[in-house]
Structure 1
């Protein structure tokens, strides 16, 4: 299919007056009478100037007398200080002791991070090496259960779950997303 140049394509010329009956008529051109625009502008300007002159001729009326003397503002004085304090709670609060019982904060349960549980020890060692690249020391623990032998990759113990969560987030940034915080038992 040949390419068509739409940029250089010309529009078909409009038919001359009276040639085509169904063609559109030309829109009327801009006004050829600049004197009409000048007359409207002068009329608007003269009405505006007359309005300003009319407002200037009106007398100014005010509700206050024109020659009112200006009084100096009165000095704002404070009332005299009372001889005795009308409230007693101020003296009671000064002499009162309040005892507050603060319970000793419970230490959180030690926590560990379990990052994986594998059937083969080689896979557990690979996970331990990945954690070591993050700068955290991990251990591989062998556990025997009712469904066989498992090798668990464990980091910790930590004093609190908050410390364990901080290392878990650090490991997630390194791409190890399998760690979970568990209570240490």
Structure 2
């Protein structure tokens, strides 16, 4: 059912609980007692803390000019004001001390076998029949910031031009450069030698 809000009678407006005399009365404001008590307690605690800190402060030091005058009159001297007396003599003893050490050569050093030759690793990145193709790959490797060389080898199959990188001190170092070369879509083989 539709309602007609424009043509309502005055009796319907006042029947909703509002007074006939005018506006509704504003609610009374309450005093926030809890917040007021907490604020006063906080201020009191802060004042007490400041009083404690102020009372524990040391008195200001006396000027240095009056200290010798007090010492001459026989007043007690503060031990903090005196220069410390060194009671250790080890510094003087160590300055004049000389130590001689004999270090014999170990016997096992003479009987030590010759060290094994260090293993080195090289990486072959390509093998071509023409020197131009090998030089092109060498240039692509150089653009990556790596060094390589072209080696010519003759065998039963004819002449080959190999692009070699290295030598590397460890296989791990060779593998790191191998991953850089895989970004260029160039497969390399790490071998010992």
Give the structure-2-normalised TM-score: 0.38
Give the structure-1-normalised TM-score: 0.40
